[in-house]
């Protein structure tokens, strides 16, 4: 079976969409954002399409309001059915990018982490390297483990902070996959170059 990964994060605006795009490039994978909340200024699927040249799989729910999915759906007058969220069939690898952090509510009774537990697909946790990342990363990993979610590893995003990047894997036993630096010029070429310099593609196959 082709490899499938779920990309989550320790917080919002960590950089997991850019990491997802880099992984889509590296694996020649398909991309799926189950729920998009907020469309003004462009969607995550559109960003990935621009950076990879692929056509993403359409979102299951596309919400106009930029908020947590549970609230965005209520404001938009939409009902999300978590049970209907199932990874789509596709040829080759698949990258699934969730919204926000692992404990973001999909509805008022279901969190993304609950859906990850049902899917039982390997999860990659994206974490910023800035102050607070140790606490946020450890809590995210603990929450996923509490639900028996398989964790493939942690990918850092930002400037190098060697101690933070070392202590989180030391405490948790989670594999450090690499660190994607912030790119001043973000293009398909610069993204591919940065990913190749800081990650091993073999860690994802």
CB < 8 Å & 24+ apart, contacts of 169-175: 171/138, 172/137, 172/138, 172/141, 174/125, 174/141, 175/203
**E strands in 103-195:** 123-128, 151-157, 176-180
Average pLDDT value for the chain: 96
| 10-62 residue pLDDT tens | 988 899 999 999 999 999 999 999 999 999 888 999 999 999 999 999 999 99
What values do phi and psi take at 160, rounded to 5?
Answer: -65, 130
What band does 1 get if pLDDT is binned at 50, 70 and 90? very low
| 174-191 residue pLDDT tens | 999 999 999 999 999 999
Catalytic residue positions, numbered: 33
- Within 13 Å and on the Cβ side, how many CA atoms surround 189? 1
| 98-112 residue pLDDT tens | 998 999 999 999 999
């Amino acid at each position: 079976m082709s490899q499938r990964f779920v990309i989550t994060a320790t917080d919002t605006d960590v950089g997991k969409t850019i990491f997802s795009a880099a992984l889509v490039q590296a694996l020649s994978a398909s991309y799926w954002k189950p729920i998009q909340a907020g469309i003004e200024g462009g969607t995550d699927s559109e960003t990935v399409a621009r950076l990879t040249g692929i056509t993403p799989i359409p979102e299951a729910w596309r919400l106009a309001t930029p908020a947590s999915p549970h609230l965005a759906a209520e404001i938009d007058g939409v009902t999300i059915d978590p049970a209907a969220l199932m990874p789509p069939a596709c040829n080759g690898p698949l990258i699934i990018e969730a919204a926000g952090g692992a404990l973001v509510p999909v509805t008022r009774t279901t969190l993304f982490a609950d859906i990850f537990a049902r899917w039982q697909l390997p999860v990659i946790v994206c974490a910023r390297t800035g102050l607070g990342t140790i606490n946020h990363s450890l809590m995210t990993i603990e929450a996923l483990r509490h639900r028996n979610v398989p964790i493939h590893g942690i990918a850092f995003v930002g400037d190098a902070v060697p101690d933070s990047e070392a202590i989180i894997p030391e405490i948790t036993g989670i594999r450090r996959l690499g660190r994607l630096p912030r790119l001043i010029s973000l293009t398909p070429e610069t993204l591919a170059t940065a990913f190749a310099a800081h990650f091993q593609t073999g860690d994802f196959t």
